[in-house]
Amino acid sequence: MGTTAVTVIGLGEMGRALADALLTAGHSTTVWNRSAAKADDLVARGAVRAATVEEAVLASPLTLVCLLDYDVTTALLEPAAGALRGRTLVNLTNGTPTQAREAEAWAVQRGAAYLDGGIMAIPSTVATPQAFVLYSGQKAPFDAHQATLEALGAAKYLGADAGTAALYDLALLSAMHVMFDGFFHAVAMATSNEEGTATGFTELLVPWLTNMTQVMPAFAADVDSGGEPALTQGLDVVLAGVRNMARASRDAGVRADYFEQSVADLEKQVAEGATVYTGPDVVRRLRTSG
Ligand code: FVH
């Protein structure tokens, strides 16, 4: 089967990993980066170094962009916009759903097909079975280039709204960010006395959190069903536990602001007459408190 020529604009940590994966998969790969020396290793492996963004775009029917942010992306592509006509632009730069929709409108006005993407990988896991990349926007370019995009990681198409990939990307990253905040909070608590080491504690934390993730599909089903939730817990029990987390944090000399806020929210629910903690209730309250 023939391979598609691909251009990669932006050779930071992630862009270099993407270009490397495309070369490994046998694609003719053209690259451009502001700091040209970052292309040296790729060129040594067979990539073509373009002198300008326009030259890079003209080299391939498919251009992947992976830059710092959307402002940089627009500033670099605008002078080369004429070259995009009739080609496909896949923007893998991290951004918001609104930015993704605006970028799609910008590209379509210039005659380009557009897909927005979110890379759910770190550079070292690109092109491994762990990696997946979210795409949304026009279906036709996704179908046309899916086989090529699979070289980066499993390609998951989420729908016609160009903003959906960014929305899911940031939602997934938000879960990761809060998880790591929780991890470091827990480590600060557990190492507050002389007995605890972060390493020993983490040996307990990883299986505990791994077990707890198994509950998420049931919570998700409750959120989707709109019916009587299957998973419920007494609000008084949850409140008592979170109060203790706040107290124990303070006693250990660790900031408790997240838990104090949580206690205040739970107390408000109790004062309003709620008696159970359910997935749909938590999501509803999050949606209305913004
Ligand atoms: N690295 C990661 O683990 C994450 C994984 C998930 C996806 N993100 C997103 O990928 C985008 C790029 O991230 P990165 O890790 O490659 O970032 P850097 O290594 O810092 O490379 C940044 C590239 O952007 C270029 N650049 C920055 N400012 C300008 C500018 N004013 N004009 C032209 N290019 C610019 C930079 O060029 P240079 O500094 O090498 O000349 C790099 O090519 C990002 O959206 C992540 O959120 C990565």
pLDDT digits (tens, 9 = 90+) for 86-124: 999 999 999 999 999 999 999 999 999 999 999 999 999
Using the atom order of ligand 1, give the atom closest to the CA of residue 11. Answer: 43
Let me know whether 146 and 226 are in one domain: no
Which residue's alpha carbon is at the smallest distance from atom 28 of ligand 1? 68
Give domain status of residue 240, yes or no.
yes
State the virtual CA torsion across 262, 120, 52, 48 in degrees, nearest 10.
160
Across the chain, mean pLDDT equals: 96
H or E element: which one contains 90?
Answer: strand 88-91
Distance 142 CA to ligand 1 centre (A): 23
- Pocket flag, ligand 1, residue 71 (CB < 6 Å): no
Give domain status of residue 14, yes or no.
yes
Contacts of 151 (CB under 8 A, 6+ apart): 21, 22, 24, 25, 27, 127
The band of 154, judged by pLDDT with boundaries at 50, 70 and 90, is: very high
The band of 290, judged by pLDDT with boundaries at 50, 70 and 90, is: very low
- Pocket flag, ligand 1, residue 126 (CB < 6 Å): no
**Which domain range does residue 219 map to?**
168-288
Give domain status of residue 125, yes or no.
yes
Give domain status of residue 282, yes or no.
yes
Q: Which two tokens stand for residue 271?
A: 């004062």
Cα–Cα distance, 4 to 17 (Å, whole number): 18
Note the pLDDT of residue 251: 97
Let me know whether 154 and 97 are in one domain: yes
The residue from 105, 132, 160 where one domain ends is: 160
CATH of the domain at 184: 1.10.1040.10
pLDDT digits (tens, 9 = 90+) for 176-185: 999 999 999 9
CB < 8 Å & 24+ apart, contacts of 129-134: 132/156, 133/92, 134/158, 134/164, 134/165, 134/168, 134/169
Q: Which two tokens stand for residue 227?
A: 């019916």
Give domain status of residue 28, yes or no.
yes
Does this model's pTM top 0.85? My answer is: yes
Instruction: Reply yes or no on whether the pLDDT at 157 is more than 90.
Output: yes
H or E element: which one contains 264?
Answer: helix 257-271
Structural domain count of the chain: 2
Give domain status of residue 245, yes or no.
yes
- Pocket flag, ligand 1, residue 131 (CB < 6 Å): no
The residue from 113, 144, 160 where one domain ends is: 160
Note the pLDDT of residue 288: 79
Let me know whether 72 and 206 are in one domain: no
Note the pLDDT of residue 196: 86
pLDDT digits (tens, 9 = 90+) for 50-80: 999 999 999 999 999 999 999 999 999 999 9
Q: Which of 7, 13, 68 to mutate to test the pocket of ligand 1 (most atoms within 8 A of CB)?
A: 68
Let me know whether 105 and 210 are in one domain: no
Q: Mean of the pLDDT values across residues 33-37?
A: 98
pLDDT digits (tens, 9 = 90+) for 237-252: 999 999 999 999 999 9
Let me know whether 88 and 15 are in one domain: yes
Let me know whether 237 and 256 are in one domain: yes
Distance 65 CA to ligand 1 centre (A): 10
Instruction: Reply yes or no on whether the pLDDT at 1 is more than 60.
Output: no
Which residue's alpha carbon is at the smallest distance from atom 8 of ligand 1? 94
Let me know whether 123 and 258 are in one domain: no
Let me know whether 107 and 214 are in one domain: no
Note the pLDDT of residue 289: 57
Which residue's alpha carbon is at the smallest distance from atom 42 of ligand 1? 12
The residue from 160, 189, 205 where one domain ends is: 160
Q: Which of 106, 103, 111 is nearest to 70 (CA)?
A: 103
Which residue's alpha carbon is at the smallest distance from atom 18 of ligand 1? 12
Let me know whether 124 and 148 are in one domain: yes
- Pocket flag, ligand 1, residue 123 (CB < 6 Å): yes
Using the atom order of ligand 1, give the atom closest to the CA of residue 16. Answer: 16
- Pocket flag, ligand 1, residue 72 (CB < 6 Å): yes
Give domain status of residue 214, yes or no.
yes
Q: How far is CA 194 from CA 191, 249, 254, in A?
A: 7, 16, 15
Instruction: Check: CB of residue 100 under 8 Å from CB of residue 163.
Output: yes
Q: Calculate ∠ Cα 248-253-255, nearest 5°.
A: 80
Using the atom order of ligand 1, give the atom closest to the CA of residue 17. Answer: 16
DSSP 48-70: EEPSSHHHHHHT-SEEEE--S-H
Cα–Cα distance, 18 to 69 (Å, whole number): 17
Let me know whether 156 and 174 are in one domain: no
Q: Which of 217, 209, 212 is nearest to 183 (CA)?
A: 209
Let me know whether 14 and 151 are in one domain: yes
Let me know whether 24 and 132 are in one domain: yes
CATH of the domain at 146: 3.40.50.720
pLDDT digits (tens, 9 = 90+) for 186-235: 999 999 998 889 999 999 999 999 999 999 999 999 999 989 999 999 99
Q: Mean of the pLDDT values across residues 131-149?
A: 98
- Pocket flag, ligand 1, residue 93 (CB < 6 Å): yes
Q: Which of 40, 67, 92, 180 to mutate to test the pocket of ligand 1 (most atoms within 8 A of CB)?
A: 67
What percent of the chain is predicted at pLDDT more than 90? 97
DSSP state for residue 191 in the 8-state scheme: T
Which residue's alpha carbon is at the smallest distance from atom 33 of ligand 1? 34
Give domain status of residue 1, yes or no.
no
